[in-house]
Structure 1
């Protein structure tokens, strides 16, 4: 464990996040992440078993402490790998969920480390509270908005320049665009079109800058406003001129299926934003 942790420190942390020879960023992040996650979970199980079924021993405590500290290094290594992945391939919900899961594992091991030296520490209750609080934090963080805001900040604008250069100066300097991202301009419009209404505060201004006709929202199927050529180009190369109509279409259908029990504030606010732009013409 100590040898492996040393390799991680010198190879990744002190290597300035450089890619090893013979790897793509996707291979490096995925392969290393799942290996490290598996070992981290195994460590958690081993430490909990030792705490539960073996008598107290100073030597055992030292060994469990070393395992726990090495696990922190493995978690940090997994985070670094995922950050490298995001720098080149931007955000998705799965990548946010991965970082959230690593945060849960990190905080859980803090409790485990305390429990090694304090047997009276309520580890189970601590774990329940931590998972509940972090789950609520994830639920209320509007991950789809974060995804859209970050990705659109690095997508081309209507005139071919970056979105932040052409439109977003009205919003001030953008934290989400800049030297952190190293990949090509964001162009996965198919993914953007399938985001929930939570993403509307980021997607609708971007659609407006691209010249979308928001009157299409009043059609039974907003994609009907697109010409056959535009639809062919949308499906063939995922250009920005078409994704917004698909985004409006599937979120409109979700809103139409809303009942008192399934009312969603984000869908309601999205419709208000669109109606304001229609009335403003």
Structure 2
């Protein structure tokens, strides 16, 4: 019901309606609450607030309903004390254990494992296909959001529910909404101080199977790797054909659209693949030691590296059409680090190194890249690229965004000097509001003012000021 009323929609009267439903569900599950005077008063006040939300949307009313609902939960667990600090403490305790229902689900799963009967055909089938099917649809969702061609293919198959209605955001919403509603109806306000003594286990009682062990069977991993390699090969073939070979895109799809749409989802795909590989390599030796599994993993990781390279190329194509920014420079660096991380996974597997070694290698790579990057004048590089690729100078792309170069600061001045000499005159009059910023006189005045403060002084700006003085 929360999904139907709120997910992807702005809240209006539905907030009040959902409040009525929540109060009703709570009362049915905790009828004793209405036997107390405080419970009746709070319930009445909440009903009034729900009616008010039907009348008008108010964050204050929503806040009061949340506090009132939690107060009812406190009453159901032992009464509402008159001490305000005790009440606040119990409110804090409630929110602290808001996600306790998730731990209850894990406990229920462990109880099931203790009572589990010998595996039947259905469970064997589920363990063998649950992982590949779930991850297949997850990667299909990412690929369809990254590649307009795959989106078009999916539309032919028309899996309406998967493409239109299922998303990671919706799944996250379900988990949070379900946990919050369950926590209100069956609250847990404090951790149990005394633990029950566990019954002595029989010597021959098997150890309960963990969730990862249950899902990551050898059959499931093999099927997953075969499916994933085929899916990624399809994406790689499309990139080779349309990005690298320059084949004509299907009608209605531009290169800018193909490039922009895919860069970031493909990086997410590569990260998910890395997580899968790490879990697989730390699984049962029968799985991690299998030559077939290792071969498929190496092939898949290399395809992921190609995917990251493709993402870098896509971002570069997009930058060529539009412009370079700090965020896009950071994206290039991040993509390179992801590619290096994938390569380190292969090296770790070949050398039989530990997870600590892998973490150390990635951290050292990150620190090394950041250290080297600190020597680069990124602002000046961005300004020079945008000036030289502006429509005024290159004849292609878009007109120079002078407002953005203002945010870059004095590092943009050398590039703006070039622009003042070669591109300023070609700028349309409709975009000439910032023309004074391009003048050498303005740059000189700005630098001179900044360098008057000895704490603000830098050698690079001093050199730039002297260069401008020589042109005055």
Given the two structures, how large is their TM-score scaled by the length of structure 1? 0.68
Aligned-partner Cα distance in 1 for 2:362–2:374: 18
Aligned-partner Cα distance in 1 for 2:255–2:450: 38
The structure carrying a bigger helix percent of its residues is 2
Equivalent residue of 1:196, what SS? helix
Specify which structure has the bigger relative contact order, considering alpha-carbon pairs within 8 angstroms and separated by 6 or more residues.
1
Aligned-partner Cα distance in 2 for 1:40–1:209: 43
In structure 2, do the counterparts of structure 1 residues 89 and 61 end up closer, same or farther at CA, with 3 Å as the change threshold?
same
Q: 1:175-190 alignment to 2 at 5 Å?
A: 183-190=396-403
Q: 1:64-103 alignment to 2 at 5 Å?
A: 64-103=297-336
Which stretch shifts more, 242-251 or 70-79? 242-251
Pick from 109, 123, 134 the counterpart of residue 358 of structure 2. Answer: 123
1:239 deviates by 6.0
Aligned to 1:57: 289
Q: Deviations over 1:193-233 (max 9, x none)?
A: 32232333322343355789xxxxxxxxxxxxxxxxxxxx9
Aligned to 2:271: 41
The answer as to whether partners of 2:448 and 2:465 remain within 8 angstroms in 1 is no
1:141 deviates by 2.1
Given the two structures, how large is their TM-score scaled by the length of structure 2? 0.43
1:72 deviates by 1.0
Equivalent residue of 2:471, what SS? helix
Equivalent residue of 2:258, what SS? helix
The answer as to whether partners of 1:145 and 1:202 remain within 8 angstroms in 2 is yes
In structure 2, do the counterparts of structure 1 residues 33 and 254 end up closer, same or farther at CA, with 3 Å as the change threshold?
farther
1:238 deviates by 4.7
Aligned-partner Cα distance in 1 for 2:321–2:465: 33
Aligned to 1:255: 450
In structure 2, do the counterparts of structure 1 residues 5 and 53 end up closer, same or farther at CA, with 3 Å as the change threshold?
closer
In structure 2, do the counterparts of structure 1 residues 65 and 14 end up closer, same or farther at CA, with 3 Å as the change threshold?
same
1:36 deviates by 0.6
Aligned to 1:137: 372
The answer as to whether partners of 1:148 and 1:192 remain within 8 angstroms in 2 is yes
Aligned-partner Cα distance in 2 for 1:149–1:123: 38
The answer as to whether partners of 2:259 and 2:317 remain within 8 angstroms in 1 is yes
Q: 1:151-190 alignment to 2 at 5 Å?
A: 151-155=386-390, 162=393, 183-190=396-403
Aligned-partner Cα distance in 1 for 2:420–2:282: 57
Structure 2: any 5+ residue segments left out of the alignment?
A: 1-227
Aligned-partner Cα distance in 1 for 2:423–2:310: 40
1:192 aligns with 2:411: no
Equivalent residue of 2:470, what SS? helix
Aligned-partner Cα distance in 1 for 2:409–2:330: 16
Aligned-partner Cα distance in 1 for 2:460–2:339: 32
In structure 2, do the counterparts of structure 1 residues 258 and 42 end up closer, same or farther at CA, with 3 Å as the change threshold?
farther
Aligned to 2:137: none
1:5 deviates by 2.7
Q: Deviations over 1:123-155 (max 9, x none)?
A: 222112211111122222212222222222233
Structure 1: any 5+ residue segments left out of the alignment?
A: 163-176, 213-232
The answer as to whether partners of 1:40 and 1:74 remain within 8 angstroms in 2 is yes
Equivalent residue of 1:184, what SS? coil
Aligned residues: 234
1:29 deviates by 3.1
Aligned-partner Cα distance in 2 for 1:24–1:211: 30
The answer as to whether partners of 1:187 and 1:239 remain within 8 angstroms in 2 is no
Query: Which one has the largest radius of gyration?
Result: 2
Aligned-partner Cα distance in 2 for 1:147–1:20: 33
1:43 deviates by 1.5
1:191 deviates by 1.8
Q: Deviations over 1:75-112 (max 9, x none)?
A: 12212211221221132222222111111111121111
